[in-house]
Each structure stands twice: as structure tokens, then as C-alpha cells.
Structure 1
Amino acid sequence: MFAASNGSRANSLEWLESLPPGPELANALAGIDDSGLSEADRVSVLRSHARLVSHYQGRVYGDIAGLESAMHGLREVPHHEAVETAAVEVGAALHLTRRSAEAETHFALELTRRLPEVQVALLRGDVDLRRARTLLRGTEHLPDHTARRIVDQVIDDARELTTGQLAARLRRLCMDSDPEDAARRYDRRVEDRRVEVLANPEGTANLLGFDLPADRVAAIGRYLDGAARKLRNVAGGRTMDQLRADVMLDILEGAHTPIGAARTGSVHLAVDLATLAELNNNSGDIAGFGPGTADLARQLADDLKDSEWSFSIVDPASGDVVCDGTTQRRP
């Protein structure tokens, strides 16, 4: 049994992280006495267990895909029937609902056949299941060869990114790979815009807007924020979140607010000058929303034409900011 020196801050178990996930790492972890481990050792054990979990999750999805292959090959049934039969077997083996079993089977096939490099990273413990799902979900609308090319650009950095950061990077790469398709997809989603009202167990309710134009949502957010700030002196102890919510309710109920129709606050839009000039179609970035299509960035820039603008001059080779400043004139 392995043991670390009691109370030591030295990382005596750092060697665990050099072991590839699999039986050797599992045996090493099983032989560790975790009583009295230092903080650094506990981090090494945590990271090693996490890599091991990822490895075996990759194995599980490989098993599910192998089950479908066996159904398809041995029984000589069409692919769709093999998938359905495999899902039934997965549901019975893992005690899953039909829908869950079908979802797991579909994910296994996408992982092992459409983006096999993601399964390899999972087996190596380089990414966890959350990041693997983010990679698949973020490229599911793309042709296989394009999806693989984009995944190749992010897979090495994926372990160091949160799922939110990874999803944002994927969105930007997808937009830049085919700006016209990104614009079409955006327009289709806006066509599905809707509002839903949902009740909460405590008796409150949620008012949710889905697939709304991002530029209009950004403007509304700016308006609510500015209105809330103007009401702080008469807030009566209300927080900014509460003030924004109250302003929204007052407006939707038709109540007058003391700020009229003024648009205040700020929106941070990062976009290159060539895109604003319609010389290219690189995606922009809206703070709080993430990447946006070139058309959306130009529309939002036009909406903000009377606002104060900040600019940054960036070295195209290194990406480093050379200088920055502000201007009252839209670029």
C-alpha cells in the first residue's frame, strides 16, 4: 500500500499523473492509503480518478457501439434496425428508459464513428464526458469532415477549458468555417422565437424568451441595466437584479417608468474592422452572449452608432493588443 507523508505539502504522488488510465492506474489508486494525504497529493489522486473515470466511460460507449455492430453484422439486419435493437439491449442491461437508452446509443455511435478522435481523447483521459458531449453537440450540424477538422483545432486545449469556453470556441470556429451557413442557421432559429411561462414549485413563475434576435436582447439588457441604475436612489433596499426584474415587469404591464425610452448602459462588442466594412465575414463576440455571426455584429454595431466606442489595435500575427482607446465616432 502506498502512503504519503502525513501533513506534507510535497506532492509525493505526482507520479500517478504519468500513468495512462487503465488497469495499472486503477491498481495504483486502489493501493493508496488516503488517510493523512497532503493537499497536493489529494489533487493528484482526484485528477487520476477523474482520468480513470473518463477512460472507462470511453470504454462503455465503445461497448455500446460494438453491440450495434454485432447486431448489424451477425444478424445481417439493416443499420436502423440494428440501432433500435442495440438500444433495447442497452436499456435492459443498464435499466434505462427507452428514450435514455436510445440517446446513449446514438451518442456512442456519434462518438466512435463520426468523431473517433474524441473517443480517443476520452480513453486517454484527456477530456471528460462533459467536454466530449460539448464537442459532439457543438459540431453536430456540420458535415463529418468539417466537424473533424474543427475538433482537431480544439481537442488539445479542451481539457484546460470549461465547457462554456469550449462551446464558445466551437461556435466561433463553426461560424468562421462557413459564414453563410451560420447566417442561415441563425435566421432559422429566429423564426422559432417564442415566449414561455413556467410555474415554479414555490409559487413564483419564470418568463422565458427563446431564440430571440441577439442584438435586440442585448439592447433590452442594456436598457434594463440603465433603468435599474437610475432607480437605485429610490430602490428601497432592492438589489440590481430585483430592480431589473421590476423594470421589466413594469414595462410589460404598461406601467410608466421614470426613464422614458432612453437607452443607457453599455454593450461590449468585439469585431474586426474588416467585418464592419463588409470586407470579410468573420464572427464577432458579444459580451455575455459569446460569438455572433458577422451580420449580427454589423447590425449591433449600427444600433450602437451613437454610443462611445472603444477600439483595440491587434497584431494579426500574435493576437496581442498593441494599443487601445475610445472614440465617439462609429468606425
Structure 2
Amino acid sequence: MAVLDDLTDPDRLEEINALVSSLDAKDSLLVAKRAGVALAQLEAVQYRALSRLSEVRGGVRGVVQEVALELSLVDNFAGSLVATGVALTSRLPRTLSLMDRGEVSGFAAQKVAEATAWLSDEDSLTAGAVLESRLLGKNSDQVRKAASYAAAKADPAGAGKRSTESRDGRRLSMAQGEAGVASIEVVDGPVEKVTAAYQRIHREARALRKQGDTRTMDQLRADIALDLLLGGQGGVSERTEVFLYMDLTTYLGLNEDPVTMAGHGYIPAGLGREIASGANTVLRRIVTDPLSGQVEDLGRTRYRPEAATAEFVRVRDRECRRPGCTRAAHTCELDHSIPWQFQGETNVADLVTYCPRDHRLKDEPGWIYRLDPDGCLTITTPTGQTHISTPPPLHEPRPEVLPF
């Protein structure tokens, strides 16, 4: 079939897409499979390029952030790509060869790299040789399990040490979702404690269902876990502080524009009004430019100038200003665009918010930051690429409200 000949030829994409739209079920599956082979081969090229970038740059910390900016990726995924590229070109050449033949996907290769990351180079080569014949036709979860087994067989003593280190590295993480939801997870917690905790929550949920509670078991388990964490069910509930960006007309219900929650993203207008109408809610007046929607001033009567300046910058920026970072500005650090020792001034035209990680990145060699008076930030990376960060407007431009 002609459509299978070369799926990577950009000059034939229009022709290929037209042909695909007329395929039957069997041929559609064949084309999808062939496209997967081509993707794996291109991903192998990408991994080699990222490995080479890391090599040329000496493996410095800023490589991951530069890749994230250039490829429009979140930092964690960019870091995984770079680490996988380095692993495949140094420790796992056989897995990379499987990708060259289109027999293993880039995502599956990441699983191999992650599962063997703790091995020495010699043991990685051993595990890679064992895996070469065991990865074909496996999905990513099967690949991960096979790679973990091969790694443990290659270094049994190291596997025991790794288990201890993993348990010592336990942490709590939070991930933002969409439309007013988020997730909280205990990462690398001791399996026996996590299992016991889940069983306790499940028992309480099941007891409530037997008593006639109409919530689903999933809802009950989630609600019980949060209640326990917040000291509910007879305990003292904790208060939290969230920052909502909502214009007056949305607050009054005159429109349904999405509301921004700092560090989370957009939530429906109705949910924003529900949160804003809470008994302990504190509202602040923010003056914006109708033409741009940008923050011009804050209503304040009680803050000294230094605190007011910091608050204005955080309200204006909303999040860490390095493009792609969504850390809420009220948890970020303020930084002078022009360093204080070089006559930088502490005012809204010279201050910008960065999370601690990106604040450190700013001082890495080759990174150039320029902040314009209107708050527009231009970042030039060590390879000469430029990325622009502009404070998001509080609302859409509304020239119709002007009296002229």
C-alpha cells in the first residue's frame, strides 16, 4: 500500500492524510502501526540530539529548562527525555537499536532508562543485553516490570540498597487538575503503611455506605482521606489561602468568564463565585487597564510601601515568570531584574517573581533576562533562543467601557 511507503515525508503529508481517510478498518490499523514504527525511529533521533546537547553543555543544570522552553514541555518530562537520551546513548545501546528498528517506542525506552538508572554502566549493559529479546510486543507497563527485574538480577545487593533509599525518599506531592480539582499523593511511602492506610479508609467508606450514605465508594474514600488530613470528622478543620483572579462582572454573575486560581489554572465562573462567597473570604480591589486587562493598581489602605510593592508584583505575575512554570506567585521569590548591587531599584518596574529553582537558573552562565517597564520578560537561553513571558491580563480587553 503506497501510504505505508514513507510516513515521514513532509511533502506527502496532505496526500497521506487524504488516503488515510478512505482506509478500511484493517488498513487503518496497519497504518497506525507503521506510524508507530516511524515515530519510534524519530524519537531515537531526538534522544541522540538531547544527549548530544547535554554532552556539549557539560550536563549543566539549565539544560533541562532550555529543552523545556524550546520543546514546550513541562520540566519533569523534559528532564526525563534528557536523562533517557543520555542513558540510551551511553548505558543502553541495545535498547536504542530497538528504537532504530521501530520495535520499541520512546515511552517504553524511558521506562527502561528509569528502571536501570541506579545501575553501574557495566550492569546497565548487562541488563540491556538481557532485555533486548524481552521487550518486543510488550506495552510500557510490561517493559517497566521486565526492566526492573533485569536490573535487580544484574545487581541484587544494589536492589536492596535502592529499596531502602526509595523508602527514605518518601514525599507528599500535589498535582493540579482541571476545572477545580487537584490530586494529592504519598510518593514512595512504605508499602505496608500505605496499604494499611488505604484499608482503614476503605473500611470507613464501606461502613458509611452500609449506613445509607449515597456517595459512591470512590467519593467516600476521597472525602474520608481529606477529612482525616484536615482534622475533620470532629477535629479542627484547617484553613487555607487561595488566590482567585475574577473581575467584578463575573463576581456579580453578569458573565461566565473563567476564573483563575493561582497555581491551579482556570476554574468555572460558578465555582469561583462559590469560593469567593465563603464566610472567611477576604476580597481585594484590583484596578486594571480596560484596553489591556493588565493590573494597574491594588486597593490597599493598611500595607507599608515595601509590602504593597511585593504584593503588586505577585498579583501582576500570578505565577513564576519563567515560561512553562506554574508555581503560584505568592509562593515565589521576588528578584531584581537589574541586580541590587548594580543600581537595581526595588519597584514594580524592576521586580519579578521566580520559584526557587528558576531563581537559581537565572544565575547560570549564558542565561540572559531582560524585564521591560510593562512587565514583559524576555529570556535568552545559552543557545541563543528567546522566549517571552508577559503577565496575563486579569480580563479580556474591554475598550467599550471607556467614556470616549
Shift, 1:248, TM fit: 2.9
Q: Find the residue that maps to 2:133 and give its secondary structure.
A: coil
Question: Is the aligned partner of 1:226 residue 2:200?
Answer: no
1:138 to 115, 118, 122: 115
Residue in 2 that maps onto 1:50: 36
Question: Is the aligned partner of 1:173 residue 2:159?
Answer: no
Contact 1:134 1:167 in 2 (8 A): yes
Residue in 1 that maps onto 2:102: 125
Q: Find the residue that maps to 2:103 and give its secondary structure.
A: coil
Q: Is the alpha carbon distance of 1:151 and 1:222 closer, same or farther for their aligned partners in structure 2, counting shifts above 3 Å? A: farther
Q: Find the residue that maps to 1:160 and give its secondary structure.
A: coil
Q: Counterpart amino acid of 1:118?
A: T
Provide the C-alpha distance between the structure 2 equivalents of 1:148 and 1:114, rounded to a whole number of angstroms. Answer: 6
Contact 1:193 1:211 in 2 (8 A): yes
Q: How does 1:137-286 map to 2 (within 5 A)?
A: 137-196=114-173, 202=179, 206-252=183-229, 253=231, 255=233
Shift, 1:45, TM fit: 0.7
Contact 1:55 1:125 in 2 (8 A): yes
Q: Is the alpha carbon distance of 1:153 and 1:226 closer, same or farther for their aligned partners in structure 2, counting shifts above 3 Å? A: farther
Contact 1:21 1:52 in 2 (8 A): yes
Deviations for 1:155-212, whole angstroms, at most 9, x for unmatched residues? Answer: 3342422222222232233334434322222222322333356776655554432321
Q: Counterpart amino acid of 1:195?
A: L
Unaligned runs of 5+ in 2: 235-404
Q: How does 1:305-320 map to 2 (within 5 A)?
A: none
Shift, 1:243, TM fit: 1.9
* Superposed CA RMSD: 4.2
The answer to which structure has the higher helix fraction is 1
Shift, 1:40, TM fit: 0.5
Q: Is the alpha carbon distance of 1:231 and 1:124 closer, same or farther for their aligned partners in structure 2, counting shifts above 3 Å? A: same
Shift, 1:41, TM fit: 0.4
Shift, 1:96, TM fit: 6.8
Shift, 1:151, TM fit: 2.6
Q: Find the residue that maps to 2:172 and give its secondary structure.
A: strand
Contact 2:68 2:74 in 1 (8 A): no
Identical amino acids, percent of aligned pairs: 23
Q: Which range is displaced more, 111-120 or 145-154? A: 145-154
Q: Is the alpha carbon distance of 1:213 and 1:66 closer, same or farther for their aligned partners in structure 2, counting shifts above 3 Å? A: closer
Shift, 1:104, TM fit: 5.1
Provide the C-alpha distance between the structure 2 equivalents of 1:250 and 1:135, rounded to a whole number of angstroms. Answer: 38
Q: Is the alpha carbon distance of 1:242 and 1:120 closer, same or farther for their aligned partners in structure 2, counting shifts above 3 Å? A: same
Question: Is the aligned partner of 1:110 residue 2:96?
Answer: no
Residue in 2 that maps onto 1:272: none
TM-score of the superposed pair, with normalisation by structure 1: 0.55
Shift, 1:67, TM fit: 6.8
Q: Counterpart amino acid of 1:193?
A: R
Q: Is the alpha carbon distance of 1:92 and 1:137 closer, same or farther for their aligned partners in structure 2, counting shifts above 3 Å? A: closer
Q: Counterpart amino acid of 2:24?
A: S
Q: Is the alpha carbon distance of 1:249 and 1:217 closer, same or farther for their aligned partners in structure 2, counting shifts above 3 Å? A: same
Shift, 1:98, TM fit: 12
Contact 1:65 1:105 in 2 (8 A): yes
Residue in 1 that maps onto 2:45: 59
Question: Is the aligned partner of 1:36 residue 2:45?
Answer: no
Contact 1:21 1:124 in 2 (8 A): no
Q: How many residues align?
A: 227
Provide the C-alpha distance between the structure 1 equivalents of 2:125 and 2:7, rounded to a whole number of angstroms. Answer: 24
Q: Find the residue that maps to 2:205 and give its secondary structure.
A: helix
Unaligned runs of 5+ in 1: 4-15, 69-78, 257-331
Q: Is the alpha carbon distance of 1:56 and 1:192 closer, same or farther for their aligned partners in structure 2, counting shifts above 3 Å? A: closer
Provide the C-alpha distance between the structure 1 equivalents of 2:98 and 2:191, rounded to a whole number of angstroms. Answer: 34
Contact 2:176 2:183 in 1 (8 A): yes
Contact 2:57 2:63 in 1 (8 A): no
